[in-house]
Amino acid sequence: MSLQVLVTGASGLLGGAVARLLADKGHRVRTFQRRHTAGGPGLEVLSGTVTDPAAVRAAVEGADAVIHLAAKVSFTGGWDEFAAVNIGGTRNLLDAARAAGARDFVFVSSPSVAHFGHALAGEGAGRADPQRARGNYARSKAAAELIALAADAPSFRVAAVRPHVVWGPGDTQLVERVVKRAAAGRLPLLDHGAALIDTTYIDNAAAAIVRALERMDQARGQALVVTNGQPRPVGELLAGICTAAGVRPPSWSVPGWLARGAGSVVEKAWLVAGARGWVRDEPPMTRFLAEQLSTAHWFDQRQTRQVLDWVPEVGLDEGLKRLAAYYGGGPAR
């Protein structure tokens, strides 16, 4: 059955992939994002911000379902900004979608909403906790996820999907940064890169989100972590990405505690500097990032796969191959 689906945040890697996949499946897709992006077959493009209730109301007009990806994603930044976009924006969208008679709402979240700094080894999704989540991004997403799931009802079904570390060709969040830093010789391994981390290849993340929409009867009211189900030592992952992009993989190691400590300092300095307009880029190391790179994050995928009746299609090795192709040819040695 063809649905009218609104996808927010479609200018990002994942939002774009979700919109295209929906269109490929024959749905009528409207995208909504701050930056103007190119449309495509079956894509209707709207520009605007989720903090603007009127723009949001216009966007949900006639939608059967909403997939909400728009968020302020950053390692640093002030709380008010995060709260306005991630919490306020989600609220606006929920209210507008319900009022417009949409049936389904998929909230795209992050495993960091239930990560409190320690290692996660094979755990389930866990409940989002805005008090204990680390950093403004995770805290605001946690609060938003709780609000979204609380809105779940038989006539307005809500599910949360939490893809973990999404990467792929064209990814500016992880791949580009890793590659840039490695090329500049500025990418250390923390604790020899031993921490086991599960990631999600872009196509799999998009497929799981779309699958959630198809399985709302089973998925509603739940938060589902989505990964490739292929945890690897972070050092190996970074090396794989670097090799695919043709740059030399990192070979020097820094103790995790040192990086976490240094990250805290840098983070604070960057905030001050950012407020005064001295820097515009993301800081080279934050405490959050240090924790991400030095503690295990991998998940029990049984519940997710059962609820979605789905398994990832693109394996890690195949994903790296596609990444290498994107960077122009085979893996450089």
Partner 1 sequence: MVAELWPGVPAAWSRRIRVPSTAAADPAGSRHNWHLLDNGEELAARGLDPVGTLLCVHGNPTWSYLWRSLLAAGSSGQSAPWRVIAVDQLDMGFSARTRVIRRLEDRITDLGDLTGALGLSGPVVTVGHDWGGIISLGWATRHREQLAGVVLTNTAVHPAGHPLPAPLQLALHPAVHRWGTTTSDAFVRVTHALARPALAREVRAAFRAPYRGAARRAGVGNFVADIPAGESHPSWPALARVAEDIRDLEVPALLLWGPEDPVFSDRYLRDLMDRLPHADVHRFEGAGHLLPEDVDVAGPVFSWLGSRGGANPDAAADGLPRPAAVEAEAFVPMLAELDGRRQDSSPAVVDMAPRVPDGAVPGPVTLTWAELAQRVDRLAAGLSGIGVKAGDRVSLLVPPGIDLTCLAYACLRIGAVIVVADTGLGTKGLSRAIRGAGPDWLVGVERALAAARLFGWPGVRISATELGSTVRRLYGVAHTVPELEADRPPGPDAGAERLSRPTADPDADAAVLFTSGSTGPAKGVVYTHRQLAAMRDTLKQTYGLKAGTALVAGFAPFALLGPALGATSATPDMDVTAPRTLSAAALADAAAAVGATAVFASPAALANVLATAGTLQAGQRDAFAGVELLLSAGAPIPEPLLAQVQDLLPAASLHTPYGMTEALPVTDISLEQIRAAGTGNGVCVGTAVAGARVAVAALRPDGSVADEASAEPGVTGEILVSAPHVKDRYDRLWITQEHSASLPGWHRTGDVGHLDAEGRLWVEGRLGHILTTADGVRTPVAAEQLAATADGAGRAAVVGIGPAGAQVAVAVLETVPPAKSAGPAPQELAQAVRSAVLNGADLELAAVLTVKDLPTDIRHNSKIDRTELAVWAAEVLAGGKAKRP
Q: Residue 267 Cβ, how far from partner 1 at the closest point, in Å?
A: 17
* 321 forms part of the interface with partner 1 (CB under 8 A): no
* 295 forms part of the interface with partner 1 (CB under 8 A): yes
* 236 forms part of the interface with partner 1 (CB under 8 A): yes
Task: Say whether 33 sits in a helix, a strand or coil.
Answer: strand
The sign one gets for the Cα dihedral 235, 237, 241, 244 is: positive
**Residue 201 known to be catalytic:** no
* 190 forms part of the interface with partner 1 (CB under 8 A): yes
Half-sphere exposure of 284 (CA within 13 A, CB side): 12
**Candidate residues 9, 12, 77, 193; the one interacting with partner 1 per rule CB under 8 A:** 193
**Candidate residues 301, 312, 320, 324; the one interacting with partner 1 per rule CB under 8 A:** 301
Q: Residue 263 Cβ, how far from partner 1 at the closest point, in Å?
A: 12
Q: How far apart are alpha carbons 59 and 156 in whole angstroms?
A: 17
- Judge residue 167's burial from the number of C-beta atoms within 10 Å of its C-beta, 0-12 exposed, 13-18 middle, 19 or more buried: buried
Site for partner 1 in 272-291 (CB under 8 A): 291
Q: Which two tokens stand for residue 107?
A: 């909230």
**Candidate residues 9, 77, 231, 319; the one interacting with partner 1 per rule CB under 8 A:** 231
* 257 forms part of the interface with partner 1 (CB under 8 A): yes
Contact yes or no for 105/127 (Cβ under 8 A)? no
* 260 forms part of the interface with partner 1 (CB under 8 A): yes
Contact yes or no for 15/69 (Cβ under 8 A)? yes
Of the two residues 89 and 249, which places its CB atom closer to partner 1 in the complex?
249
Of the two residues 65 and 165, which places its CB atom closer to partner 1 in the complex?
165
- Judge residue 272's burial from the number of C-beta atoms within 10 Å of its C-beta, 0-12 exposed, 13-18 middle, 19 or more buried: exposed
* 123 forms part of the interface with partner 1 (CB under 8 A): yes
Of the two residues 61 and 129, which places its CB atom closer to partner 1 in the complex?
129
* 298 forms part of the interface with partner 1 (CB under 8 A): yes
* 296 forms part of the interface with partner 1 (CB under 8 A): yes
Contact segment (CB under 8 A) with partner 1 among 36-44, 117-125, 159-167, 203-211 equals 117-125
The string of DSSP letters for 212-260 reads: HHHTHHHHTT-EEEE--S--EEHHHHHHHHHHHHTSPPP--EE-HHHHH
Residue among 166, 159, 147, 151 at smallest CA distance from 73 = 166
**Candidate residues 64, 104, 152, 191; the one interacting with partner 1 per rule CB under 8 A:** 191
Q: Which residues of 128-158 are buried (b: 16+ CB within 10 A; e: fewer)?
A: bbbeebbbbbbbbbbbbbbbbbebbeeebbb
* Look-up of token digits 């029990």: 300
Q: Residue 74 Cβ, how far from partner 1 at the closest point, in Å?
A: 23
* 264 forms part of the interface with partner 1 (CB under 8 A): no
**Rule CB under 8 A: which residues touch partner 1?**
117-119, 121-123, 190-196, 229-236, 239, 249, 255-257, 260, 291, 294-296, 298, 300-302, 305
- The set of catalytic residues is 137
